[in-house]
A and B are shown apart, each in its own frame.
Chain A
Amino acid sequence: MTTRLDDRPTLAPAAAAPVHAAPTGSTGGNRRLLHYLGQSLLIQLRDWAFLGFVIVMPTTVYLFFAGIFGSQPSESGPSVAALMMVTMATYGGLGAAMNAGSQIQSERSSGWFRQLMLTALAPGQFVLAKIATAIAVLIPAIGAVFLAGVALGVRLEAAVWAASFALIIAALLPMIVLGLVIGLWFKPQTATAVTTLSMLALAMLGGLWFPLDLMPAGMQAIGRLLPSYWASQIGGWPLAGGEFPWQGVIVLAVWLATLAALGGLGYRRAIRTSRR
């Protein structure tokens, strides 16, 4: 039944509603992105358990393995402890990157993302901020392993430290996106498990725990297709020297492009479904 009444109340506003000349241009947009990023970082810093996990875990594993194998003399080039430091830092960064990325999951499934969409923050800015937050989490994760390296007597030139640090972070970008993709595509209960399993698989098959050279040929071939392997190779290049591993850049680029495409799809789906 539809009943329409002719005499609809149309109250005049008691006072003029506030009207604003709103800063909606890109300046306001960038200001909001930076604000959201800064505040998200502060909130992330409060999460001691998470930070402890991403810092303590790889550092402990590094100290353990380096304690066993690190004292072995290296025939030429950098010491085993130094090379192991790079692979362990990559492993630590891998965990941090994927976990930080998949944290998008909790905000999406809880519905908090919907509340954010009621602000002037654009959805794309939200994702950018999540990526930037993940990069920021990489810094302590990798830094802690480097510090442990120093404690074990690894000595490098400042430029080599810096280059290795920056290259590991850059090479882990596809892994951050992988975390985002998992967060966007999987349900909360499964996302954590999928993140952990992928991380372990990437770490093991990518030669972050045991050098790829010690594995059978078939596994080596798989390893050379993985971004984790190339992240450690690229990160270790400033120490090891030789030709820059361009092949790895190609592998990483393919992974990044594929994951970004998957992420884009998942993101569109996430907006649709989280907006229910």
Chain B
Amino acid sequence: MDAITLTGLTKTYGTLTAVDALDLTVPAGQIMALLGPNGAGKSTTTEMVLGLTRPDAGSVAVFGADPITAMRRGEVGAMLQNGVLLWDVPVRRLLILMHGLYAHPLPLEEVIERADLGPILKSNTNKLSGGEAQRVRFALAMMADPRLLILDEPTVGMDVDARRTFWATMDTLTAEGRTVVFATHYLDEADEFADRIVVLNAGRIAADGTGSEIKAVVGGRRIGFAGPARDYAGLPGVVGQEQRGARTVLTSADSDATLRALLADPSVRDVEVSAPSLEDAFLSLVS
């Protein structure tokens, strides 16, 4: 069964169309990244999947049910963007409070262990560091023992190490066959951890595929070399040129043809061919 089925999903706020007739299916077990600039509709989409926002048109099905029913059944867990915690309460008390509110929660000790909350159980929620608070939010997201995890920018504000640790923890959860949908600004993160990347722009799908497929959509290769700084636009396949210090970087739609012509010049040396980063792919997709 599909974890999420969105059909013609639309949400407008005043004159702004946040989500525009979105059709999207997420099969169970998939790890999908939602990428897009601010205002692309990532948060609005996740809120509609969670039943926190009602669509103006179209429908959301979560494991074949409406979002609120799926939530009641404990099939969905979520980390909200800028999610807050109950103020001025010890972490343990907060966990106990929430633990009784799910249909079939994971054992509390297991939640504490997985989110590494042991050392901060007695800390007050208003005294947690950003990373600690995020771990508590993560604990709340998995507490329901959900089949679908929705994470809205889960690693925002984390340093590289914390991000790695976070995703390592996620690996154990996804190995159990859970579906994960995460929104992110970190393109390397999407490329590294998702099976599939959906790029949203202005409430629509701008691209949908694996990280390498997204890059292929943009096409082209970058060819960097040291050599005489002159105009290379005449070479076959060249669509762009950039000077970076002593190095020239060409963007080519047909790198093979460009290279054959380029290497005929013996003063061209130290050639480097690379695929554009996901960041570049992303920028050209949404522009």
B208 partner, pick from A4, A17, A42, A107, beta carbons under 8 A: A4
Within 8 Å of chain A (Cβ to Cβ): is B246? Answer: no
Identify which of B31, B82, B100 contacts A36 (C-beta below 8 A).
Answer: B100
Whether B80 lies near A13 (C-beta < 8 A) is no
CA of A116 to CA of B285, assembled, Å: 37
A159 at interface, CB cutoff 8 A = no
Number of A-B residue pairs, CB cutoff 8 Å, is: 149
User: Per-residue CB proximity of A1-28 to B under 8 Å, as 1/0?
Assistant: 1111101111111111111101110001
Name A20-69 residues within 8 Å CB distance of B. 20, 22-24, 28, 31-32, 35-36, 39-40, 42-43, 46
Interface size class of A (residues with CB under 8 A): 35 or more
Q: Which of B109-168 contact A (CB under 8 A)?
A: 140, 144-145, 147
Q: Which residues of A contact B269 (CB under 8 A)?
A: none
For chain A residues 73-131, which have a beta carbon within 8 Å of chain B? 106-107, 110-112, 114-122
Q: Is B29 close to A, CB under 8 A?
A: yes
In chain A, what residue has the closest Cβ to B97? A39
Q: Give the contact stretch, choosing among B172-180, B181-189, B222-230, B250-258.
A: B172-180
The answer to whether A39 and B100 touch (CB under 8 A), given A9-B30, A118-B76, is: yes
Q: How far is the CA of A35 from the CA of B195 in the complex (A)?
A: 39
Bound CA–CA A118/B96 (angstroms): 16
Q: Hey, which chain B residues are within 8 Å of A40, CB to CB?
A: 97
1/0 per residue B206-247: CB within 8 Å of A? Answer: 111110010001000000000000000000000000000000
Contact indicator per residue, chain A 208-249, by CB within 8 Å of chain B (1) or not (0): 000000000000000000000000000000000000000000
Residue B101 CB within 8 A of the other chain = yes
A14/B71 in contact, CB under 8 A? no
Q: Would you call B85 an interface residue if the criterion is a C-beta within 8 Å of the partner chain's C-beta atoms?
A: yes
Residue of chain B at shortest CB distance from A126:
B101
Complex Cα gap A76–B33 (Å): 79
When the two chains form their complex, are residues B104 and A23 in contact, meaning their CB atoms are under 8 A apart? Answer: yes
> Once bound together, how far apart are the Cα atoms of A107 and B31, in whole Å?
32
Interface pick from B34-42, B45-53, B260-268, B272-280: B45-53
Residues on the B chain within 8 Å of A120, using CB = 71-74, 101-103, 144
How many residues on the B side are at the interface (Cβ–Cβ under 8 A)? 57
- Most B-side CB within 10 Å, residue of A8, A9, A11, A119: A119
Q: Is the CB of A9 within 8 A of B101?
A: no
Which of B28, B72, B75, B147 has the largest number of chain A CB atoms within 10 A? Answer: B72
B131 → A minimal CB distance (Å): 18
Give B98's nearest chain A residue, CB to CB: A119
Q: Does any Cβ of A come within 8 Å of B78's Cβ?
A: yes
**Is B206's CB under 8 angstroms from A2's CB?**
yes
State in angstroms the CA–CA spacing of A43 and B98 once bound together: 12
Determine the chain B residues whose CB is within 8 A of the CB of A111 once the complex forms.
80, 82-84
CA distance A141 to B85 in the complex (A): 29
**Residue B89, interface by CB 8 Å:** yes
Interface contact A39-B285, CB-CB below 8 Å: no
Chain B proximity of A17: nearest CB distance (Å): 4
In the complex the two chains form, is B89's CB within 8 Å of A20's CB? no
Which A residues touch B74, using CB under 8 A?
Answer: 20, 22, 120
Once bound together, how far apart are the Cα atoms of A39 and B92, in whole Å? Answer: 12
Given contacts A22-B73, A112-B84, contact A17 B29 (CB under 8 A): yes
Min CB distance, A274 to chain B, in Å? 9
Q: How far is the CA of A3 from the CA of B213 in the complex (A)?
A: 11
Closest to A46 in B: B89
- The chain A residue sitting closest to B26, CB to CB, is A10
**CA of A13 to CA of B147 in the docked complex: distance in angstroms?**
11
Q: Does A275 contact B (CB under 8 A)?
A: yes
B212 CB to closest chain A CB, in angstroms?
10
- Are A18 and B85 CB-contacts (below 8 A) given A1-B206, A24-B73, A35-B101? no
Chain A residues close to B by CB (< 8 Å): 1-5, 7-20, 22-24, 28, 31-32, 35-36, 39-40, 42-43, 46, 106-107, 110-112, 114-122, 275-276
Residues of B in contact with A (beta carbons under 8 Å apart): 27-31, 47, 50-53, 71-78, 80, 82-87, 89, 93, 96-98, 100-104, 140, 144-145, 147, 174-179, 195-196, 204-210, 213, 217, 285
Q: A5-B208, A14-B174, A18-B178 are in contact. List 17 more A-B contacts (CB 8 A).
A: A1-B285, A11-B195, A17-B178, A18-B145, A20-B73, A22-B103, A24-B103, A36-B97, A39-B96, A39-B97, A39-B100, A42-B93, A43-B93, A112-B84, A117-B51, A117-B71, A118-B78
